Amino acid sequence: MKIEDVQMPAEPVLNSEAAAMPKMRRPDHPKVTCVLPAFNEAKNLPRVVSMLDETLRPICSEYSVLIVDDGSSDDTAAAAIALANRYPVKLL
């Protein structure tokens, strides 16, 4: 079977419990946390975080970028710390 062969229902299928729940309102300006796994990404982080800032700032009331450094051997952690001076970045 190919993905093209799968037919999706016209309306979402909800179980009775989900259907009974009140519909949640979507906030006009949501709060967003973007999680970035990073392994040896020191050179790419400034560009990626800048692009996230340009994208999220106009549509979010608040956002943060959580950079998860997975044992990088380059300066990924130092780059993330430097970015935290300009953007809402946290390093994990």
Domain ranges of the chain: 28-91
Query: Which pLDDT belongs to residue 59?
Result: 87
Strands 31-38 and 62-69: parallel
Q: Write b or e for each residue in 37-54: b if 16 or more Cβ atoms lie within 10 A of its Cβ, otherwise e.
A: ebeebbeebbebbeebbe
Residue 60 has pLDDT above 80, yes or no: yes
Helix (H, G, I), strand (E, B) or coil at 70: coil
Residue 8 has pLDDT above 60, yes or no: no
Dump pLDDT digits (tens) for 11-58.
555 555 555 555 555 556 678 999 999 999 999 999 999 999 999 988
Question: Cα–Cα distances in Å, from 4 out to 10, 12, 42, 50, 90?
Answer: 16, 19, 39, 36, 40
Query: Which pLDDT belongs to residue 30?
Result: 79
Quote the tokens at residue 74. 């380059």
